[in-house]
Structure formats: structure tokens, C-alpha cells
Structure 1
Amino acid sequence: MTPTDKRPNLRFVALAIGMFAIGTDSFVVAGILPSVAEDLRVDVPTSAELITAYALAYAILSPVIASVAGRASRKALLIGGLAVFVAGNIGTGLAPTFETAIAFRVVAALGGAMFTPTAAGAVVALAGPEKRATALSILFGGLSAATALGSPIGTAISGITDWRGTMMFVAAVGALAAVAVLIGLPAIPRPPAVPFKQRLSPLADARITLTLLLLLVTYSGLFVLYTYVSQVFRPATGGDGTTLAWLLFAWGAAAVVGNLFAGRLTDAFGNRIVINTAPRRSSSSSAPRGAADISYQRSSLS
């Protein structure tokens, strides 16, 4: 590979750092729920609403932001999204009440919603059709790395300091990502404006709808467990944050391995083979994240 071939990958890594920050924010709260519940004087099931608020806002706002901000500078949108994300996490870490924390979780999700679809479009534009799946696997590898590294590190930090220290760690990673994007990413041409209704039009294709339903069912089962991972593993960890961090590392490492191979396999053999092979390994959390996600994104963006 020539030096010029490697440059785009470095640009993808800058965006992957942003995905790492957003993924860490998505996953790390699960490991610190008991600490959050005790400090904010709520029970553990109620504290899990911090995860729900973030996830719902992120899911709802992502397509809305992509439509509304279609004419904005891609780089400005990426950096602005990370700035909002950082502010949301700092606000969460300083929140005096549970209700305030919920509000700032929505702010953090808004930042993530600004960044994620913009980053996906950016890597596709930079990579070209022949390397699209590989580029997406690098980008979303940052999300998988968050389960292997970001979430365990954040959980360990909570054990050393408290949950507020964890939120400041997430904000610091987001700030680092903003600097990486500012320095490492070139100007990206604005894509044609796509109305919100047109963005939903792929759902008319039964294959895409079924793929999305498969992912919805898979991830619903995955995150029902993951949300309460600190409680599920408490008999094994005794409430020790370091032990839980190692268990989260093992979980996330499988997701990273899936992403490392899924994009290249899709470029080499096509998305159909990868998608049909992945469910046979569905007992591993890396299969849907590594194979089905990237293969779907390649097919839907083609």
C-alpha cells in the first residue's frame, strides 16, 4: 500500500475516535448504575432511565438532524456535534439531581446524532465504492472498541473516583475526537439535500425492512442484558469495578474482532455471504455488530 493509499485510513481513524467517544457514552453508564443510583438517590432500575433517555433521543434525532442539517458544512457539523456531546457529558457529570442528569443525557445524544450519520457519509465519500465496507468497518470499529476499552476504562474510573469522574472521562475523549477531526479531516463536499421522507423510502424494500427488524430484535436482547450488566455479574464481581471492567473488556473484544474482519470480508465476498454467515454465530455479540451492521450499511448505501 502506498502512502497516498494510507492517508484515507488515517482520516477514517479520526472519525473512529469520535465513534469511540459516542460508543463509550452509550455503554459506560451500564457499568456505573449502582454508583449513579446511590449518589442521585434513586433505585437502580430508575437510574437506567439515563440509558433509555440517551438511546431514544439518539435514535429519533439522528435522521432528523441528517435532514435538517443537510446543507451544513460536513466538517463543521462533525465538530459541532462533538462540542454538544462534550457539553452534555460535562453537564451530566455535574448534575445535582436525577432530572438534570436526564436532561443532559438528551443533550449528549443530540451531539451524537449530529456526528454519527455525518461521519458515515464522510467515510463513504472519502473511500469510494470499492472500499466502502472497509471504511465503514474502521469507523464503526470505534464503536466496538468502546465496548472493549472505553466502557471498561470508564467503569474502572468509577471504582477509583465515582461515576462523575467517568462522565468527565467521556467528555475528555469527545474533546480529543474533536481535535482529531479538526486536524486530520479535510473539507468534505456537501451531499445533495435529501428530504426526510426520501430517507425513509428504503423501508419500502422488504429486504431492508427485514434486515432492520433482525437488528432490532438482536440488539434488544443484547442491551436488555447489557443495561443491567453490573447487577447480573454482581455475584461474580462482588461489586468490584475492576473485575467488572475485565468482564466488559472480554465482551467488547469479540465485537472488535468482528469489525476487523467484517468489512474486508464484505468487500471480498459481498454482503449476502457475510449476512447469511453471521447469524450462525449469533451467540457472539460480535456477529451482529461486526458483520450484519456493516454489510447492511454497504447494501443500503449502494
Structure 2
Amino acid sequence: MPAGVLVLALGVFAVGTGEFVLAGLIPLLADDFGLTEGVAGQVVTAFAVTCAISAPVGTALTARWPRRRVLVVAGAIYLMGAAATALAPGFGLLLVGQVVAALGAGVFVPNASVTAASLVSPAASGRAIATVVSGFTIAVAFGAPAGTAIGAASGWRSTMWLAAAVAALGVAGIARLVPRETSIGNPGGLQERLRPLAERRVLALLATTLVAFTAVYIPYTYIGAIFAPATGDDGVRLAVLMLTLGITGAAGNLVAGRLADRHEGSAVVTVALVWLISSFAVIAAAHSAYGSALAAIGFYGVAAFAITTPQQHRLISHDPERASVLVALNQAVLYLAIGVSGVVGAVGLDIVGPGDLVWIAAALAAVAIALSSLGRPKAPAPDSETRAGEPRTERIP
């Protein structure tokens, strides 16, 4: 794999670690600034909502730029935001720093994937994209838990400085290893990128992503509060929980990808959502003891990460020619879901408390199942190629 692709994966790892480690740092931020965990959790909302906006808008505004320039500028903006966060004397300025970081992250991540594909032959583009996306997987499985442990040992500011340092390495590597004039096809301006929102099935699929991932990220965002009885507010124990979640989640994503190739993507999503609801019941019963909490978080991780790939599969199958636009919209909605989870979870902490917060997530997952059914493709009329009564799967042509 070209060095340019590997350095793009490093950049995505840095951005992903900075994003996902926030959940593990919420208890530390709450203690440092004298806040409730619900208020401190709004740092996740600020980052995610900004990403949701900057991803389509920033990418459209920079569509005519060479990709190396886009990536270096976006990475530098993220770096400045991470540094500002580490230096913030108060929570308000910390939020400002995270908004700046998210402006860069929202543009960097989708452009890193498409740039990686342009650096290799068409036959190797899938592997290049997978290599870059693995930066996120490693960030969830190892970067966020390691950052949480470092924060527990040396303070949350040390974690943010580490994220900034890795980002600096990524920006320097991109400036050196990604060709100067690397460019991609221009899918049009912002209006053209938003045009699919006028289609009923696309709206149903994106609504499924929004509600399903709000359910997924409520327990993740407030993992420290939910499992506090098991961890005793020990940051290292919390980091081990996050590591377990990341490892089982990576396995769940791989299995879901294989199943989506063999069955309807909608069927895989439904199974994952039913599993997710079951995992919330397990967490509610097992969040107080550390051993059972580890088992519960692993059970939850499989379902939580098993939704992403089949949802993208459904969108790509719907309109392969506009796949890049549809996947970008799905990514923006996913960021929005992370932001909404921070708000809904904060309200839930005040109303039902951390022990019962998962039941709010379970109710949202049930709604997502209903929305997902609206996104199923219409059954084709029987013809010479499709016999009546023969199931038709959502396969990518």
C-alpha cells in the first residue's frame, strides 16, 4: 500500500481518537470544571454537530481544490482546535476549541477516503479505502481507551496534547507523501449533494441512521456515568471497558459486512437493532459489577458496530452511481446522531438517572426498526429475470 494511503490512515486515527476519547474524558471534565456529567457531555454534542455541518458544506466549498491542500488545511484546523482545547482555562473556551477541531475533522475524514482511492489503481481502491477507515477502527478499539487511561493518569489535557501531536505527524506526512495535484471527480455543489434528500427511501434510510445511532451512542457517550458503580470512577477500569467495546465492535462490523453481502442489508440492520435492544437490557442488569459489566459491554459492542456497514450497503445499492454522495450524507447524519445522543443522554441522566439511561436508548432502537422497514426496496414485479416469489437481495452491482 502506498505511503500516502498509510499516512492518511494515521490522520484518520488521530482525528478519530480525539473524537471518541471525549466520552472517556467526560467524568474528568466534570470534576475539573465543577459540572454535572450531563453538562460536560455537551462537548460530544458540540464536536459531532459541527462535523455534521462541516462535512458537506466544507467539502462542497473546497471541491475545486487539490486534495492535498484540502487535507493539509483541514488537518491543521483540527490540530489548532485540539491545542486550543488542551489550553482552555474554562469549559466555554474548551467547547470553542472542540468546534474548531470539528470544522477540520468534518472535512478531513471523507476526503481522506476518496483521496486514498485516487492514489491506487481502481482494482486496489477498496483496499485503500479500507486501510484509511481502519484508522477509525483502531481509534475506537485502542486510541480512545489509551487516551482515557492517559487522562486518568496524567489529566485530560495530556490526552488532548497527545491527539494534537499525532495530528501534527499526520499533517506533516500528508504534506510530504500525498502528491501535490491529487484530485477527484467533482460531484457538484452543495445543492446537488443534498438533492437525494428529496427521495422518500433515502430519507427513510437516513432517518434510520439518525435514530439508530442516537440509541447506539447514548450509552457510549455516558459510559463513565452508567458504569460508575462497576468502575468506582477508576479511569483505567473505564479504559478497559472501552477497549472491550472497541474489540467486539470491530468483530461485529466485520461479520455484519459479510452478512450484508449474502442477505438483504435491511435484514442485517433489523437483527442488529434487536440485538442492540437486548444488549441494553443486559447492561441495565449488569452495570454494577465489573466482571458482568465487561461481558455486557462486549455484548453491546457487537450490535453497536454491526449497523454501519449494512446501512451503507443499502444506500449504495439504492443508487450506485451516486454512492459517494449518499455515503457522505449518511456520515453527516451519523455525526448528527452522536450530537443528539449527548443532548438526549444529558436529559435522561436528570430524569431517570444513569442506571436506567439505556431504556431510553432501547426505545429509540425500537423506533429505528420501524423506520428501517420504510427503507426497504419495493418488491420488483415478476419478469423473465426475477421469478415470482423469489427473494431479491440488495446486492451491489
What TM bracket, shorter-length normalisation? 0.7 to 0.9
* Structure 2 counterpart of 1:249: 243
**Deviation sequence 1:213-255 (CA, Å, 0-9, x none):** 2211111001111111101111111111111111101111133
CA–CA separation in structure 2 for the residues paired with 1:162 and 1:150: 16
CA–CA separation in structure 2 for the residues paired with 1:69 and 1:17: 22
CA–CA separation in structure 1 for the residues paired with 2:212 and 2:135: 20
Give 1:264 deviation, angstroms. Answer: 7.5
* Structure 2 counterpart of 1:289: 308
Answer yes or no: is the 8 Å Cα contact 2:150–2:158 preserved in 1: yes
* Structure 1 counterpart of 2:160: 167
CA–CA separation in structure 2 for the residues paired with 1:37 and 1:132: 43
* Structure 1 counterpart of 2:208: 214
Distance 1:94 1:155, change over 3 A: same
**Deviation sequence 1:154-174 (CA, Å, 0-9, x none):** 100011111111111111221
Which of these residues, 172, 181, 191, is aligned with residue 185 of structure 2? 191
* Structure 2 counterpart of 1:3: none
Which has more helix, going by share of residues? 1
Distance 1:136 1:152, change over 3 A: same
Give 1:212 deviation, angstroms. Answer: 1.6
CA–CA separation in structure 2 for the residues paired with 1:228 and 1:90: 24
CA–CA separation in structure 2 for the residues paired with 1:297 and 1:167: 36
Give 1:113 deviation, angstroms. Answer: 1.8
Distance 1:42 1:174, change over 3 A: same
CA–CA separation in structure 2 for the residues paired with 1:263 and 1:15: 23
Which of these residues, 88, 110, 123, is aligned with residue 95 of structure 1? 88
Answer yes or no: is the 8 Å Cα contact 1:31–1:244 preserved in 2: yes
Distance 1:290 1:193, change over 3 A: closer
Answer yes or no: is the 8 Å Cα contact 1:61–1:113 preserved in 2: yes
CA–CA separation in structure 2 for the residues paired with 1:264 and 1:186: 34
* Structure 2 counterpart of 1:67: 60
Q: Which secondary structure does the structure 2 equivalent of 1:101 belong to?
A: helix
* Structure 1 counterpart of 2:323: 301
| Higher mean C-alpha displacement, 275-284 vs 77-86 | 275-284
Identity of aligned residues (%): 32
Q: Which secondary structure does the structure 2 equivalent of 1:55 belong to?
A: helix
**Deviation sequence 1:112-165 (CA, Å, 0-9, x none):** 022122113213434566555544333222212211111101100011111111
* Structure 1 counterpart of 2:271: 280
CA–CA separation in structure 1 for the residues paired with 2:167 and 2:39: 26
* Structure 1 counterpart of 2:11: 18
1:113 aligns with 2:132: no
* Structure 2 counterpart of 1:85: 78
Q: Which secondary structure does the structure 1 equivalent of 2:76 belong to?
A: helix
Distance 1:252 1:83, change over 3 A: same
Q: 1:33 is matched by which residue type in structure 2?
A: I
Which of these residues, 18, 38, 45, is aligned with residue 38 of structure 2? 45
Answer yes or no: is the 8 Å Cα contact 2:187–2:193 preserved in 1: no
**Count of aligned pairs:** 292
CA–CA separation in structure 2 for the residues paired with 1:21 and 1:289: 21
CA–CA separation in structure 1 for the residues paired with 2:124 and 2:210: 27
Report the structure number with the largest CA radius of gyration.
2
1:237 aligns with 2:259: no
Q: 2:216 is matched by which residue type in structure 1?
A: L
- TM (norm. structure 2) is 0.67
Give 1:72 deviation, angstroms. Answer: 1.4
Distance 1:193 1:273, change over 3 A: closer
| Higher mean C-alpha displacement, 94-103 vs 122-131 | 122-131
CA–CA separation in structure 1 for the residues paired with 2:58 and 2:39: 29
Q: 2:44 is matched by which residue type in structure 1?
A: I
Answer yes or no: is the 8 Å Cα contact 2:114–2:184 preserved in 1: no
RMSD: 2.5
Q: Which secondary structure does the structure 1 equivalent of 2:64 belong to?
A: coil
Unpaired runs of 5+ residues, structure 2, are 277-302, 325-397
Q: 1:281 is matched by which residue type in structure 2?
A: A
CA–CA separation in structure 2 for the residues paired with 1:129 and 1:208: 27
| Higher mean C-alpha displacement, 133-142 vs 280-289 | 133-142
CA–CA separation in structure 1 for the residues paired with 2:160 and 2:139: 14
1:228 aligns with 2:222: yes
Answer yes or no: is the 8 Å Cα contact 1:134–1:264 preserved in 2: no
CA–CA separation in structure 1 for the residues paired with 2:5 and 2:204: 29
